[in-house]
Amino acid sequence: MLLGARLAEGRHVGSPTWGDADDRVKTTNLALLATDRDTERAETLINEMIQETRKLVEQHWPEIEALAQRLLVNQRVNFLGTSENPGS
């Protein structure tokens, strides 16, 4: 999710970005945890995950855009399949 948000934001604005600095910190900490604090392996892991995540973002870009539009219009997304606008 952290990488997907970064890559989707970068695609939307047209340039690479980390957006929220906290996302980068969390991504780095998770990679360090997964590699027993080996910084070189952690960096390699992050780069591999970025490549895989980029493929997913590209593959699902239409759905990501639709979801973002729903968030802008409704200020929320209902994943349960019930009415988006209760009471209407």
pLDDT of residue 68: 87
Provide the pLDDT confidence category of residue 18 given band limits of 50, 70 and 90: low
Whether the per-residue pLDDT at 86 is higher than 60: the answer is no
Mean pLDDT of 24-47: 96
Domain boundaries, the chain: 2-72
Mean pLDDT, range 14-28, rounded to an integer: 81
CA distance to 52, 54, 78, per residue, from 75 (Å): 29, 26, 10
- Kindly state the helix (H) or strand (E) to which residue 19 belongs, with its residue range: none
> Nearest-CA neighbor of 18 among 30, 31, 7, 29?
7
Predicted pLDDT of residue 51: 96
Query: Could you tell me how many residues make up the chain?
Result: 88
d(CA 50, CA 86): 38
Note if the pTM is more than 0.75. no
